[in-house]
Amino acid sequence: MRSDKVIPMHPATLAAHRFGFSETSLQPLKSDPRGWVLAQFRQPQPLDERGLMASPEAGVLTRQVLSAVLNGAVNNVAPAAPADMASTPPAVVAATDPNRQLLRRANAQAVQRRWQHVVATGTPVYERWVMFWANHFSVAATKGSMLGLVWPFEREAIRPHATGRFVDLARAATLHPAMLLYLDNAQSFGPGSRAGQRGSRGLNENLARELLELHTLGVNGGYTQADVTELAKLLTGWTVDRQTAQSRFVAAWHEPGPKRVLGQSYPEGPQALEALLTDLSRHPSTARFVATKLARHFVADDPPAPLVDALANRFRASDGDLSALADALFSHELTWQSTTPPKFKRPEELVLSAHRVLKLPVVQAERLNTVLAQMGQPVGRAPSPQGWPDRTEDWLAPDALWKRTEWAATFAQQHDQLADARQLATLSLGPDLGAETQRQIARADSGAQALALWLASPEFQRR
């Protein structure tokens, strides 16, 4: 499966397989691969959101589920010890609770709709773009309060702003109930606030730290611990309403007085966050951090410095216009360099590529997510606020590679009647199908074996 040799990739292959989710045939985009990619950002096909549960309903249901657990009303369990429902691990949430079942069905419906859209859409590169930003502002269902909020967060905070201004995307992500709960700002009290002086709870710095380290400036972006603490105070008061599960500002929780972050003073009150996000979005460190992450994700683990410079410059010159940033990325010659070392598909990218190239609908989302978890990527449950790692080396553990081989064999056995892998591999990869892989597929004993060999090949595993 693994090959350390750099195999040149033609422009159509780069467009289809590195920037998108693979195509059955390269023929429709061979004449203008770059134009095919850029056009997707001008008119992306929208996700059908009809019938999907929004965050207020999901948040209210989640609170009801956790209340039942904490009160010992489900499965005759003893009341849970922690008084803070937001910290309740998902593992203790009873699966027989009807509200939990409703949330589970809503999550399955949401991820199935999302995956099927990726498989069928005419704008797959745009979907990769949306997934990049959802991973950049990562939230995860790794604690009870997040049971139903991961997919509404992506639809409500990320997708509507993915080609707008970075500051608007950052604001939507920061103030979404999912982010306020995931990074504990919903329970953060200013020490000098009216609520804080009663001593029930204190300041929580999680959101402040990740806003600087992961969302804007980057770990070496020039901030200090004092900046983190002051920003945490600025963010106090932003919480999630217990009844409506919507974000709101509570003045009694907010730390009084001005706060000084990165040498700039911000006034007391909710308006300070808007000013702060505007300043962070215009900071040179943010431009470079975002440019580096984008180039790493779409081009190479170690992206060319001139490409990063060009993206950072466009970010600053356009005042964080993400549509302009996409244009700068996919118009740059270095993005299309054929000899750039390939990336390695994450499990989700790999499986969706297989479905897309075979035109196979996604119909059993929960089963598919189980498969992805076995390969190291339980979707919706990123291991930390950093999201899923983006370097090839992070996905090359021996056990993970073996799981990919097992998946390829099982998948091929189940779907070998959909296409002749010998023909499809050539149609999908064209001149970028290696001679050794072509020989192995040609010598396969069966259609299932041929398909398994192709899905496990370096050419299909890379992007």
pLDDT mean over 257-266: 98
Same domain, 276 and 292: no
Range of the domain at 125: 55-180
Same domain, 218 and 268: yes
Task: Give percent of the chain with pLDDT exceeding 90.
Answer: 89
- Express each pLDDT in 150-175 by its tens digit: 999 999 999 999 999 999 999 999 99
Per the domain annotation, does 146 fall within a domain?
yes
Kindly tell me if the per-residue pLDDT of 52 is higher than 50: yes
pLDDT at position 87 is 52
Residue 226 to residue 221: CA distance in whole angstroms = 14
Confidence bin at 213 (pLDDT 50/70/90): very high
Residue 138 to residue 173: CA distance in whole angstroms = 9
Same domain, 145 and 169: yes
Tell me which of 294, 312, 336 is where a domain ends. 336
Same domain, 301 and 270: no
Tell me which of 236, 264, 281 is where a domain ends. 281
Same domain, 296 and 227: no
Same domain, 346 and 441: yes
pLDDT mean over 3-30: 88
Same domain, 171 and 63: yes
- Express each pLDDT in 222-247 by its tens digit: 999 999 999 999 999 999 999 999 99
Confidence bin at 84 (pLDDT 50/70/90): very low
Per the domain annotation, does 211 fall within a domain?
yes
Residue in the structure block whose two tokens are 């007085």: 257
Per the domain annotation, does 357 fall within a domain?
yes
Per the domain annotation, does 46 fall within a domain?
no
Same domain, 133 and 157: yes
Per the domain annotation, does 41 fall within a domain?
no
Name the domain count of the chain. Answer: 4
Beta strands at 259-261 and 238-240: parallel, antiparallel or unpaired: unpaired
Per the domain annotation, does 231 fall within a domain?
yes
Closest listed residue to residue 400, CA positions, set 381, 379, 365, 372: 372
Per the domain annotation, does 45 fall within a domain?
no
Same domain, 247 and 288: no
Residue 29 to residue 27: CA distance in whole angstroms = 6
Same domain, 269 and 292: no
pLDDT at position 69 is 82
Closest listed residue to residue 64, CA positions, set 37, 111, 97: 97
**C-beta neighbour count of 59 within 10 angstroms:** 28
**Most confident range, picked from 157-166, 396-405, 413-422:** 157-166
Structure-model confidence comparison of residues 71 and 373, the more confident one: 373
Output the CA angle 289-128-174, nearest 5 degrees: 50
- Express each pLDDT in 294-312 by its tens digit: 999 999 999 999 999 999 9
Kindly tell me if the per-residue pLDDT of 83 is higher than 70: no
Burial class of 337 by CB neighbour count within 10 A (0 to 12, 13 to 18, 19+): middle
Backbone angles phi, psi at 158, to 5 degrees: -95, -60
Confidence bin at 85 (pLDDT 50/70/90): very low
Per the domain annotation, does 409 fall within a domain?
yes
Neighbouring residues of 333: CB distance < 8 A, sequence distance ≥ 6: none
Residue 283 near residue 216, CB atoms below 8 Å: yes
Tell me which of 116, 145, 180 is where a domain ends. 180
Tell me how far CA of residue 420 lies from CA of 13, 122, 217, 415, 459, in angstroms. Answer: 20, 23, 49, 10, 17
Same domain, 206 and 323: no
Mind giving me the DSSP string for 177-200?
HHHHHHTTGGG---TTSTTGGGTS
The rounded mean pLDDT for the chain is 93
Which residue type is seen at 31? S
pLDDT mean over 344-371: 96
Same domain, 247 and 225: yes
- Express each pLDDT in 200-209 by its tens digit: 789 999 999 9
Helix (H) / strand (E) containing 376: none
Closest listed residue to residue 25, CA positions, set 15, 34, 38, 35: 15
pLDDT at position 77 is 40
